Amino acid sequence: MQAAMNELVSDVSFDGPTLAVEELSKCYEVPGQEPFCAVRSLSMNIGRGECFGLLGPNGAGKSTSMNCITGFYPATNGKILIMGIDVQKDPRRARLHLGVCAQEDTLDTDFTVLYQMVLYGGYFGIPLEESERRAKELIEKFGLTEKVNEPAETLSGGMRRRLQVARALISRPALLILDEPTTGLDPEARRVVWDVVGEFRKAGGTVLLSTHYMEEAQRLCDRVAILYRGNMLDCAPPMDLIDKHAGTEYINEEIRPGVFWKRPPNLEDVYLKLTGTQLESEAQ
Amino acid sequence: MSQLRGIYCVWRRYFAVYQKSIGFGLITTFAEPLLYLLSFGFGLGSMIGDFEYHGLHITYRQFIFAGVAAQTVLFQGFFEAAYGGFVRMYYQRIFHAIAVTPITLSEILWAELLWDASRASTAVFAVFIIGCISGDFHVLGAVCALPVVFLCALLFAGLGLLTAARSRTIDEISYPQFLFVFPMFLFCGVFFPITQLPEAMRGFAWFLPLTSVTDILRAFTLGVPCFILSPFIILCWLVGLVYCARRAMFKRLVK
């Protein structure tokens, strides 16, 4: 069992929260204006094996929060601890526990599928042979074996996305940050990513996920935070959020002109209600 | 992982890309200075003949060889950092990908500058080999000049990276290229001694970094004295440009 766990996550010994964010704020200076705050006093604790979702419209502060958590952006205020290590004070050590799949395609198109994963392992100080062994395992897990020696630029969009998630796992991180990992994937490829996320969590890994797909959040996340203009509007398990904001009664929805169907409330209703309410109150 | 190891890992990545197309890389690295040497050194040089430079009788070929070495430092250092750096930063997003690993952005930018300087130094090394074989350079001087060449290449890599950081699109790189790099190439002593320039232009030419780079490389390869302030001018430009390039790139990438 331990050996299987170690295939995806190397450090499962830490007792505290894998990710602790305390009062995180990120503001930008705007010449001649008040500073613009993309994230305001965001706090969350994510425990080992948990999948935590960040939902919100464009500009809600999801990617900015993630960039602060990775230590790429300096926080204006607040504290971020990964496995108890302060990201802002010791980013090098904190990032040893971190795997990141960014929203944008950041694959190294100069190299083949295998070599770029091996190279990426090198950035974490993983020896060449070990990095190659792990890379081959992940390539197989993500169904890319046939493309192992192909240049990354020749892969389809879905394959590139899978490769990016696989690459994020090469260091066997304790915390995996996935910023819209399944955008543009076909249902089959999306299922592969979901399965690996499930497997990663079973191995003790923690996931911070940002997505626009409510179905994905509802399916994968233990807890979901809804962000809007840098503020966390609510945070709870998906079903609790649905009960609290959308109720339990079936919704009669017109799906085409004159065609109605009754369906149970879902996370999308919560999302639209919370962010829609905000839009209305701002308009007034 | 130490800072140096981080820088080495990223430098190694650049070298791996270079290795992949080493044939093409070597051709482009060596072809350009070779063409200049053939055209100006052997072609134009045979028409001009000898002249006196700092009290020494030299051929125009000897004069231009050192100029071509300086021009190679400028072009290879600037273009690799400006265009290569822009592509890696903007299109390939290499900096973003690596900066979320234990390697910091500061180390990535050092590696970028060092790689650009390494590549430019390799090209100058090729010019030195040809100069030594043809008997136009002092061998010992050329060997001693290599560390200086690397620093000069770092200077122009700084200029290139600063340009990449300040350009919104890849086309905008051509503005500093035409307004700063090409005028330097033409008026900083590569093709003729700057004493031939009108008095008013001479002071300005000395202010530009390529004049001092050309001057100091001639001193090493021909054994003539160099302007006493040349090392100081190079050092000032080097520190200033590397600092500004790193700062501008941080400002662009880190919000």
What is the distance in angstroms between the Cα of B100 and the nearest Cα belonging to chain A?
Answer: 6
Burial of B115 by CB count in 10 Å (0-12 exposed, 13-18 middle, 19+ buried)?
Answer: buried
Q: Which domain holds residue B218?
A: 2-253
What is the distance between the alpha carbons of residues B177 and A80, in angstroms, rounded to a whole number?
43
CB of B4 less than 8 A from some CB of A = no
Looking at every residue in chain B, the average pLDDT score rounds to 91
Residue scoring higher pLDDT (B108 or A14):
B108
Q: What is the pLDDT of residues B110-164, one digit of tens each?
A: 999 999 999 999 999 988 988 888 888 888 988 999 999 999 999 999 999 999 9
pTM of the complete model: 0.89
Residue partners of A262: CB distance under 8 A and separation at least 6: A250, A251, A252, A253
Work out the average pLDDT over A192-218. 89
Q: Residue A256 has what pLDDT?
A: 86
CB of B255 less than 8 A from some CB of A = yes
CB of B20 less than 8 A from some CB of A = yes
Q: Residue A4 has what pLDDT?
A: 42
Which B positions 90-149 lie with beta carbon below 8 A of chain A? Answer: 92-94, 96-105
pLDDT at B86 over 70: yes
ipTM for the predicted complex comes to 0.86
Q: What tokens were used for A138?
A: 């992940």
Residue partners of B186: CB distance under 8 A and separation at least 6: none
pLDDT at A19 over 90: yes
Lowest-confidence region among A185-189, A233-237, B139-143: A185-189
* Number of compact structural domains in chain B: 1
Q: What is the pLDDT of residues B232-253, one digit of tens each?
A: 999 999 999 999 999 999 999 9
Three-state SS at A157: helix
Which A positions 116-155 lie with beta carbon below 8 A of chain B? Answer: 119-120, 122-125
Comparing C-alpha atoms, which of B106, B195, B211, B205 is closest to residue B152?
Answer: B211
Contacts 24+ apart (CB under 8 A), A235-240: A235/A44, A238/A53, A238/A267
CB of A59 less than 8 A from some CB of B = no
Phi-psi region of B101 (alpha: psi -120 to 50; beta: other; left: phi over 0): beta
Residue contacts between A and B (CB atoms, under 8 Å):
73
Q: Residue A277 has what pLDDT?
A: 59
Half-sphere exposure of A105 (CA within 13 A, CB side): 18
Comparing C-alpha atoms, which of A126, A268, A141, A282 is closest to residue A211?
Answer: A268
Q: Which stretches does DSSP call E strand in chain A?
A: 19-28, 36-46, 51-55, 77-82, 85-86, 98-101, 175-179, 206-210, 223-228, 231-236, 251-256, 259-263
pLDDT at A284 over 70: no
Question: How far does chain B reach from its first CA to its final CA, in angstroms?
Answer: 26
Q: Which residues of A touch B255 (CB under 8 A)?
A: 28, 64, 67, 73
Beta bridge partners of A235: A225
Q: Residue A17 has what pLDDT?
A: 92
Q: Which residues of A touch B254 (CB under 8 A)?
A: 72-74
What is the distance in angstroms between the Cα of A33 and the nearest Cα belonging to chain B?
Answer: 17
Beta bridge partners of A110: none
Work out the average pLDDT over B32-44. 82
Choose the closest CB to B99 out of A72, A104, A105. A72
Work out the average pLDDT over B12-35. 84
pLDDT at A6 over 80: no
pLDDT at A25 over 60: yes
Residues of chain A above pLDDT 70, percent? 93
Position A249 confidence tier, pLDDT thresholds 50, 70, 90: confident
What is the distance between the alpha carbons of residues A93 and B41, in angstroms, rounded to a whole number?
55
Q: What tokens were used for B144?
A: 């001693």
Nearest CA in chain A to B255: A73
Nearest CA in chain A to B2: A92
The backbone torsions φ and ψ at residue B50, rounded to the nearest 5 degrees and listed phi first, read -85, 155
Q: Residue B34 has what pLDDT?
A: 80
